[in-house]
Amino acid sequence: ICRGAVRIAQALGTSRREVSNDEVEQRSAFRRSIVITRDIAAGEIIGPEDLDYKRPGYGIEPNMASLVIGQSAVENLPRDTVLKFEHLTRASG
């Protein structure tokens, strides 16, 4: 009886969730990033209507949109550019 209980416990494993190496490598492919919905000229202020959220997730995360809105582009950004903070500068005013 005791050996059976031990085997059952081993078969069930732990309740701790561990992220595999494959999951870590694929994480950015499944996450989303902020992308520009239209061509934006250097110096132009970015508004909420200029943002969309698409995969892959190697740019600014969608939950950081409030940090993007109101900033201006430091260079011309074509439509569907995955935004990174180096594309932006804080607007004065």
d(CA 82, CA 64): 13
Cβ neighbours, 10 Å, residue 3: 7
Residue 27 scores a pLDDT above 50: yes
The amino acid at residue 75 is E
List, for residues 42-68, the tens digit of each pLDDT value. Answer: 999 999 999 999 988 889 999 999 999
* DSSP class of 77: B
34, 68 in Cβ contact below 8 A? yes
pLDDT at site 61: 94
pTM: 0.69
List, for residues 1-22, the tens digit of each pLDDT value. Answer: 677 888 888 788 777 777 777 7
91's CB contacts (< 8 A; 6+ apart) are 45, 70, 71, 72
31's CB contacts (< 8 A; 6+ apart) are 55, 56, 57, 61
